[in-house]
Amino acid sequence: MVIKYKITPTVCAIDFAKTLSAEAVKKNIRVPIHIKIGTGMNRLWFQFETAEKDIKNISQLSGLRVEGIYSHFSNAFNKKDSATEEQFKKFSILIKKPEKNKIFQIMYISQTVRDIWFPKTQCNLVRFGLAMYGLQPSDKVKYPLPIRQCFTWKAKILQIKEIKKGEYV
């Protein structure tokens, strides 16, 4: 599906990268990918400690074109969170190496909340999530600017059926 629909996937496992590369080679194309690095979120990532080696190995796969690198803050809502600062420090160390700047055109770690309150965590792309849904980060933390939903989900009703009480749906 990635190749068929021209999706730029996240790569966070060497096995997936190899499989994707092999499929791309069969079709004589190079698939653009974004590599996710773990800096503290602990969800789908290459370990920070092995990231340079992993990036090198992936960038040598002939069916892939490494386009972006990113990470994800584990607690973006806390304005005074040393763990978040540590995550940004790790990510910055990795992306500021001269040899990496030649590989990655897109680098990002910041998302809606961090971008609004901590613009220093911006790289050259920001992921917008909750704000696009028109949602505040929490009941206690509100954006300092007005937001509104930027899209609507719509669907057609395809079928209506009556079922008996107690039946499973």
CB 82 within 8 A of CB 110: no
CA-nearest of 42, 52, 44 to 83 is: 42
Rounded mean pLDDT, 11-29: 97
Rounded mean pLDDT, 60-86: 85
Percent residues over pLDDT 90 in the chain: 42
Residues 21-53 have pLDDT tens digits of 999 999 999 999 999 999 988 878 899 999 999
| Single-letter amino acid code for the residue at 14 | I
User: 79 vs 46, which has greater pLDDT?
Assistant: 46
Residues 99-128 have pLDDT tens digits of 666 788 999 988 877 777 777 777 888 887
The two most distant CA atoms of the chain are separated, in Å, by 66
Rounded mean pLDDT, 2-31: 96
User: CA dist 41 to 86, 88, 116, Å?
Assistant: 12, 12, 20
pLDDT of residue 79: 63
Domains of the chain: 10-133 (3.20.20.10)
* DSSP one-letter string for the chain: -TTTTT---EE--HHHHHHHHHHHHHTT--EEEEEEEESS--SS-EEGGGHHHHHHHHHT-TTEEEEEEE---S-TT-TT-HHHHHHHHHHHHHHTSHHHHTT-SEEE--BHHHHHH-GGG--S--B--GGGGT--S-SS---SS-------------------TT---
pLDDT of residue 99: 67
